[in-house]
Structure 1
């Protein structure tokens, strides 16, 4: 992000590691099935943009092998640990300001990155230009407006409270310039960037332990910003207790995965 202070979920906070672990449990298998479908294989060069945690970079390294290369970049690289140094290069990089890497890639992938950027469409075009002819760009981002509730089955006071917390969270995201309907725009934006064979799918886990852990880590990290006229500290304490002590059926925003190919005749 161009301005770390503007990023609501600052990765320098201790809860970031808990969030990365929960996101990996929720979405890594979904992400990797799409990357495998596109044919990531031995010898490929891949760029993992805004990597956050090490999971996808490590999985890509396993797929490309010793003759391939994975560039894992982020503004905060402190979480990118225990990666195979012979295959993975970890680089501090601001995709909004720093020059693009001096190469083109068989795969460029970013998950839950662009939605937080005010110039997200321009960043997407830059990422598309880093894909070699015949290679793929895969962007995965949230669409909270598509399903805005924490508990779609709001049948009791715990679920009603969870949805009030989610409304406060969405309001804080919007204040920071997050496009709450960004995910659905990805096919159009990939085509506008000159990519072909564009397709997209959505994944929306309904309930799981990882959903509750992600919700709890997010609330702990942001609780000072979530409190307002309709939400007290006591409310947040109760919500965290519900997440800890009950099987609250809390979900995440839908994740839209979109991919497109750089035409072979491009230069």
Structure 2
């Protein structure tokens, strides 16, 4: 599948930093709720950047193990945050490859499954890698629940931002993304046999990092937005200028975080 937001593009690094600023505290809170502690074995799926595996390494310590995988590990390979940590970096395709050797106490994926063509298989792969009693934490967006870039659509700039966001969502859907996936996760984890399933959602609003992330995402898909008739080059230029000037109160699709435990000890 043609992944819309290619991690090989320069804007990917900007996106990773903005996502980390927006969502890392939320993710880390859920990992603490899952019981993450020294000695745990953790598989970080689709790690992208280094901030999450680095933080996990600090929690599990030298007695633990952190496996950070992605189909593109270029943003992990030379990350100074990971130097001297118990983090193993490995290229891995969650849909096509067998689970890495485990078992793991915690398996985590953030903003990964919504983009995959075979989400069901990917979810099974992660569950199979858990030890009995191990915890799965899946965090994914649900653009269908809150589709607007600017909920306060009071002027032409906000209307333009929302139109471009609709175009972005259309491009995602064309490539097989499930824009309502987040809301289904609690049921999917229960149906897969996990216990103690619980979920909540978070979306930031009017944070400067929202503007950084929106700008980087638009730049990554600029030509496709134009080719698809979703926006003109002038409209994109105007929108990026409005974001840079801080005139827009931007938000994102909610990130839905779901915890479930594999039956056993």
Compute the TM-score of the two structures, normalised by the length of structure 2.
0.96
Q: What is the aligned partner in structure 2 of residue 182 from structure 1? A: 181
In the alignment, is the contact (CA less than 8 A) between 1:58 and 1:84 conserved in 2? no
Deviation above 4 Å: which 4+ runs of structure 1?
A: none
Quote the offset at 1:86 in angstroms: 4.5
Quote the offset at 1:246 in angstroms: 2.3
9, 17, 20: which one aligns with 1:21: 17
Q: What is the aligned partner in structure 1 of residue 156 from structure 2? A: 157
Quote the offset at 1:194 in angstroms: 1.3
CA distance in 2, matches of 1:180, 1:224: 22
Quote the offset at 1:160 in angstroms: 0.4
CA distance in 2, matches of 1:172, 1:57: 30
- Residue deviations 1:147-176, cap 9 Å, x none? 000001100111001001100000000000
Quote the offset at 1:247 in angstroms: 3.5
Q: How does 1:6-17 map to 2 (within 5 A)?
A: 6-17=2-13
Q: What is the aligned partner in structure 2 of residue 205 from structure 1? A: 204
In the alignment, is the contact (CA less than 8 A) between 2:54 and 2:85 conserved in 1? no
Q: What is the aligned partner in structure 1 of residue 251 from structure 2? A: 251
Change (3 A) 1:106 1:231: same
* 5+ residue gaps, structure 1: none
- Residue deviations 1:97-127, cap 9 Å, x none? 1121121100000000000011101210111
In the alignment, is the contact (CA less than 8 A) between 2:99 and 2:128 conserved in 1? no
1:114 pairs with 2:113: yes
CA distance in 1, matches of 2:21, 2:218: 18
Q: What is the aligned partner in structure 1 of residue 31 from structure 2? A: 35
In the alignment, is the contact (CA less than 8 A) between 1:61 and 1:84 conserved in 2? no
CA distance in 2, matches of 1:23, 1:216: 12
CA distance in 1, matches of 2:247, 2:235: 18
* 5+ residue gaps, structure 2: none
Q: What SS does structure 2 have at the residue aligned with 1:79?
A: helix
Quote the offset at 1:259 in angstroms: 0.7
CA distance in 2, matches of 1:116, 1:108: 18
CA distance in 2, matches of 1:91, 1:157: 46
- Residue deviations 1:23-59, cap 9 Å, x none? 0000000000000111100000000000000011000
CA distance in 1, matches of 2:84, 2:199: 33
Q: What is the aligned partner in structure 1 of residue 215 from structure 2? A: 216
CA distance in 1, matches of 2:23, 2:230: 32
Q: What is the aligned partner in structure 2 of residue 233 from structure 1? A: 233
CA distance in 2, matches of 1:247, 1:213: 13
Compute the TM-score of the two structures, normalised by the length of structure 1.
0.96
CA distance in 2, matches of 1:54, 1:135: 23
Note the aligned Cα RMSD (angstroms).
1.0
Quote the offset at 1:95 in angstroms: 0.9
CA distance in 2, matches of 1:86, 1:40: 17
Aligned length: 261
In the alignment, is the contact (CA less than 8 A) between 1:206 and 1:252 conserved in 2? yes
